[in-house]
Structures are given as C-alpha cells and as structure tokens.
Amino acid sequence: MDNLHHIVVVGGGAGGLELVTSLGNKLGKKRKARITLVDSGLTHVWKPLLHEVASGSLDANANEINYRAHARKHHYEFQLGRMSGLDRAAKKLTIAPFRDEDGAEVVPERHISYDTLVIAVGSTANDFGTPGAQDNCLFLDSLKQARRFHKLMLNAFLRKNHEALQGTEHTLNITIIGAGATGVELAAELRLASRELPVYGMNHLQASDVSISVIEAADRILPALPARLSAAATRELEHQKVRVLAGQPVSEVRETSIIMKDGTELPSEMTIWAAGIKAPAFLADLEGLEVNRSNQLVVEQTLQTTQDADIFALGDCAACPQPDSDRPVPPRAQAAHQQADTLFKTLCNRLDGGKAVPFVYNDHGSLINFSRYTTVGNLMGNLSGRSMYIEGKVARLFYLSLYRMHQVALHGVLRTGIIWLMDRISRAMHPRLKLH
C-alpha cells in the first residue's frame, strides 16, 4: 500500500468530491493508486443548494453525503481536517488541529504526504472590506451558515408575527447585497417563505409585511449574464414584489440599516452578503505558489499550478486561463464539474507516464431559478455557439438536471434514480417548508 502513488485531494465540494469518486472507482478499487480526500467538514452538500437550505425550501439532512460512508463505497480514504500549510520540498501538507464545538482539541496538527496534490477548497463571499459587513451581514458559504440563516429567519418571522398581533409596526426588512445568481435566487426563495409561513401558523403576518430588496453595484442585476436574462430576471423579481436596486454601491453595513454610496440609509434587519467571491486566505501563504488578488491559485490550462507541476487546483479556488479570452474560467459548479472530469483523465494518464490534458471550459449556459415560481435562462448551442433563451418548465427541467448530474457523478445512474424517487415521496409527506 505504501508504495502506491498517493493522490491527495483537499476539498470535497462540487469538483473535489466528483474527482475522488471517479479516482477511487477507477484507481483505488484496483489498487493502482492510493486516493485520499481531506475536508474540514464531515458531510457534503452541493453548494448551489445552500440558498434553498437557508430559506427552508430544502431539507439539507436529506441531501447530505457522509464522506466516511461515501469513501468506503468508492475506494478512497477520508481525513477530517482543515489544510493550513504546505511543505513542497518534503511533499507534505499540514492539517490544523481538529477541535470540537467547545474548542477542545480532538486531533493534534498532522502532516499528510502526497505524490500528487489537488487543491479544491472553493471560495467564500468577498465583502471587499466594506465597513460593518463582517459583523452585520449573514453569509451563505457553508451549510452551517445556511442553517443559522434559516433559524434566524424563522425567529424574525415569529417576532414580527407577534408584533402584528400586538398591533405595532411589524415590517421585516430583508436586504440581499449582490444580485448575481445567488442573490437573485435567494430573493425568490425568501419571497416563497414569506408566502408560506403564514399558512403554517404565523397568520398575523402577510407576505406584504416582508420587504425584500436586492442591491447591485453594477448598472443591472446578473451583470455577468446576457442583458436579456437580466431584464427577464428584473421583471420576475418585481412581479414577486422584490425591490431591485441596481447601480447602487453600498458603502457601509450597520446592525439594522445599510448606508449607500450616495448617503441614503435603508432599514434592514436581516442583511445577506452575496456579492463577489474570494478563495481562502491560507492559499496566499502556501510557499512559492502563485495566487491572484482573490487568493485563487494561478494554474496553467492543464490545471497545474504555475510553480509546481505536481500540485493541481480546480474549481472556485483556481484561476484557470481560457483560450481566446482574457478572463479566467468563471467560478461555477458547471466549471468545477468539467474540471473534475478533465483532471480525472490527466491523473490516470500520469500514472502511465502520459501527458496532462488541457482544460477547455464548455459554457452550456446559465439558468436562474425563481423558487417554485419560474426559471429563466440561456442555453448555448454547442455547434453554433449562439445562446437560446428559455423559461418556464423547460428551463426548470434543465436547472434541476444540473444537480442530478452531480448526483450521477457521485452515486451512479441507478442510485440517483432511487434518490429522485425518495425525494418525491419525501415531498408528499412533509410540509413545503422546513419549519424548525
């Protein structure tokens, strides 16, 4: 076992978990290589579901994958811990001490040796140093944060319901800063929650008592997507009584309000930061590896870091060049999924002395889901390179297929079919919103 080539993947997210699954199935099972996944958490939830967990329209427990159980089934090893450093000369990475929720040390600092290292640690929201953002905003970077958001939201509704009963002022102001896909989809999810919760006992409150705003610094929402999509999304949000404030940079976030660059103060009891991303800060301190201003590891088109051909990076934490473009590959689940596929081929080739495969991002389009109301998006024609606008049920079907593709990569087609059936049964058995 010790003589086997050791591939260590750090980060079991949208890209990393798909990669270790295929490596385990192909190389680990036949004992051609030893595969290890390191993650700071015990379970995986696909990150694009987090805003649904936050609003309560999805029960995370039913969608969680336990790394240990998954590792056993797919022939890789799992190490719980947070990567904190790297010794490239000795080819060892450092895992910080693991502590329980009370701060007591469970496992001390450790080192793991590797022959090939893949870093896939994702990203977190980037508040660009906006005063007050860290202290007064909620973030949706992890399952823990999404669950905390859900609890705070239920309590806020409960409080406002009580105030309505007392006959006092009871408007709940919720503001989302950043109108990229995450911010826009979250706004629609929150509108759904504001309509559903009164049905489940908070009947002194009405959806109109919940004021939801999305703020965007660029002159239109969804600035990275085609203008037509942005216009359709604005119409849909306004139809759902969500206030859209585009071209309005935020200069400060206070406990119960937001100060705009022009000095206007907007009341906001719950403020969510969903603008921009940056990779984890520790990447900037890894000896000798090149990072950009967002802490992303700069990689070649082969996903190899520019300074070390034995270290690869993929997903949100990698700045990967694209041919014919001065922009790196965008930070999306779709990109992480495709990079995991390419890297799988490269790592199999490497064991046989073959070459690394260059990564070419294939943009299949973008879909924005407005909770159970509607979905809009554009699909890219592979041959024509043109985009086709879609909306409604067809768009929703494509949107849902993204998550199913991730599940197929992790569980195979048959088990994904069974999971789909169980989801349908669970929907029929449980309330439409998670109420605790």
Ligand X SMILES: Cc1cc2nc3c(=O)[nH]c(=O)nc-3n(C[C@H](O)[C@H](O)[C@H](O)COP(=O)(O)OP(=O)(O)OC[C@H]3O[C@@H](n4cnc5c(N)ncnc54)[C@H](O)[C@@H]3O)c2cc1C
- What strands lie across the sheet with 265-267, from one edge to the other? 250-253, 257-260, 265-267
Identify the CA nearest to 321 among candidates 283, 293, 263, 360: 360
Task: Please give the structure tokens belonging to residue 316.
Answer: 């949100």
How far is Cα of residue 359 from the mean position of the Cα atoms in its chain?
A: 21
CB atoms near residue 224 (< 10 Å): 13
DSSP string, 106-149: EE--EEEE-SEEEE----EE--TT-TTHHHH-B--SSHHHHHHH
CB atoms near residue 79 (< 10 Å): 18
DSSP string, 353-397: T-PPPPP-----EEEEEETTTEEEEEEE-TTT--EEEEETHHHHH
Residue 296 as a binder of ligand X (CB under 6 A): the answer is no
Choose which of 6, 9, 12, 193 interacts with ligand X (CB under 6 A): 12
Residue 189 as a binder of ligand X (CB under 6 A): the answer is no
What is the rounded CA–CA span in Å between residue 186 and residue 218?
Answer: 18
Size of the site for ligand X (CB under 6 A): 33
Considering only the stretches 34-42, 260-268, 411-419, 426-434, report the one whose residues sit in contact with ligand X under the rule CB under 6 A: 34-42
Residue 181 as a binder of ligand X (CB under 6 A): the answer is yes
Residue 10 as a binder of ligand X (CB under 6 A): the answer is yes
Choose which of 8, 9, 14, 214 interacts with ligand X (CB under 6 A): 14
Within residues 300-329, the interface with ligand X by CB under 6 A covers: 315-317
Residue 83 as a binder of ligand X (CB under 6 A): the answer is yes
Residue 48 as a binder of ligand X (CB under 6 A): the answer is yes
Q: Pick the closer one to ligand X by CB: 106 or 421.
A: 106
Considering only the stretches 10-18, 158-166, 294-302, 416-424, report the one whose residues sit in contact with ligand X under the rule CB under 6 A: 10-18
Residue 16 as a binder of ligand X (CB under 6 A): the answer is yes
Considering only the stretches 149-157, 192-200, 333-341, 349-357, report the one whose residues sit in contact with ligand X under the rule CB under 6 A: 333-341
Q: Pick the closer one to ligand X by CB: 8 or 244.
A: 8
Residue 176 as a binder of ligand X (CB under 6 A): the answer is no
Choose which of 332, 406, 411, 434 interacts with ligand X (CB under 6 A): 332
What is the rounded CA–CA span in Å between residue 322 and residue 359?
Answer: 8
Phi, psi of 173 (to 5 degrees): -100, 115
Considering only the stretches 4-12, 71-79, 85-93, 390-398, report the one whose residues sit in contact with ligand X under the rule CB under 6 A: 4-12
Distances, alpha carbon 231 to alpha carbons 184, 236, 238, 247, 249, in Å: 12, 9, 11, 14, 20
Residue 365 as a binder of ligand X (CB under 6 A): the answer is no
Q: Pick the closer one to ligand X by CB: 133 or 202.
A: 133
Choose which of 70, 82, 396, 406 interacts with ligand X (CB under 6 A): 82
Q: C-beta of 206: minimal distance to ligand X in Å? A: 27
Task: Please give the structure tokens belonging to residue 124.
Answer: 């977190």
Q: Pick the closer one to ligand X by CB: 138 or 202.
A: 138
What is the rounded CA–CA span in Å between residue 418 and residue 59?
Answer: 17
Residue 41 as a binder of ligand X (CB under 6 A): the answer is yes
CB atoms near residue 421 (< 10 Å): 10
Residue with nearest beta carbon to ligand X: 13
Distances, alpha carbon 327 to alpha carbons 24, 287, 290, 306, in Å: 33, 26, 17, 17
Residue 182 as a binder of ligand X (CB under 6 A): the answer is yes
Q: C-beta of 30: minimal distance to ligand X in Å? A: 25
Kindly list the residues in this chain that would bind ligand X in the complex (CB under 6 A). Answer: 10-16, 38-41, 44, 47-48, 50-51, 82-83, 120-122, 140, 181-182, 280, 315-317, 331-334, 336
